[in-house]
């Protein structure tokens, strides 16, 4: 049994040494995807388009919210002077406005989330293509996100080059 364990240790040691030799020849590049996702022209233009596309709906929701608050404040101010029927009528109106606002708000948030997901997926695909081209150009064997790396001496940081490549590819 001991010879079996000893044999396993030797095999494991041989594998570690062999893999060390393989890894020593790898050229690895690190990129900070957070920087690429916040500073690239691609992402900035997507945010501008999304803001433009959703601003009118957001403004309409804000206006509905203001209207609802004004109606609620008027009800609170006038409720002692209103008849029971008028009070109930205004309460129903406010409740209906609240429900409509909540429904519109939920729909808006879902639409924004779906669009963000679609744009995120498109960016990930674009980024993958650009990083693949960068890896070939720089003769890198592997590109990984800087946040995954446990240690970085700084020599393998390709974030700036990747950002330049992203912006160049986006302009095309």
* 60-115: pLDDT as tens digits: 999 999 999 999 999 999 988 989 999 999 999 999 999 999 999 999 999 999 99
Q: Give the CATH number for residue 16.
A: 3.30.910.20
115-166 pLDDT per residue, tens: 999 999 999 999 999 999 999 999 999 999 988 888 888 788 999 999 999 9
Domain that holds residue 29: 2-171
Tell me which residue of 1, 22, 12 sits closest to 142, measured CA to CA.
22
Alpha-carbon distance of 133 to 29, in angstroms, equals: 13
Terminal Cα-to-Cα distance of the chain (whole angstroms): 65
Per-residue DSSP letter, 157: B
For 88, the enclosing helix (H) or strand (E) is helix 84-138
Alpha-carbon distance of 130 to 133, in angstroms, equals: 5
Alpha-carbon distance of 118 to 145, in angstroms, equals: 21
**Any residues with CB less than 8 A from the CB of 145 and at least 6 apart, and which?**
30, 31, 32, 33
Is residue 67 within 8 A of residue 101, CB to CB? The reply is: no
- The pLDDT, as a whole number, for residue 13 is 47
Domain count across the chain: 1
For 167, the enclosing helix (H) or strand (E) is helix 159-171
């Amino acid at each position: 049994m001991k010879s079996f364990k000893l044999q396993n240790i030797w095999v494991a040691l041989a594998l570690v040494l062999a893999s060390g030799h393989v890894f020593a020849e790898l050229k690895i590049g690190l990129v900070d995807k957070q920087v690429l996702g916040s500073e690239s022209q691609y992402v900035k233009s997507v945010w501008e388009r999304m803001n433009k596309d959703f601003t009118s709906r957001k403004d309409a929701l804000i206006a509905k919210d203001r209207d609802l608050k004004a109606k609620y404040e008027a009800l609170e101010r006038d409720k002692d002077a209103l008849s029971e029927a008028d009070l109930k009528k205004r309460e129903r109106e406010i409740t209906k406005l609240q429900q409509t606002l909540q429904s519109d708000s939920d729909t808006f948030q879902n639409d924004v989330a779906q669009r963000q997901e679609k744009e995120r997926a498109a960016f990930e695909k674009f980024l993958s293509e650009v990083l693949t081209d960068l890896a070939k150009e720089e003769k890198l064997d592997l590109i990984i996100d800087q946040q995954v790396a446990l240690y970085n001496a700084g020599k393998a940081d390709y974030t700036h080059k990747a950002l330049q490549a992203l912006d160049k590819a986006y302009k095309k």
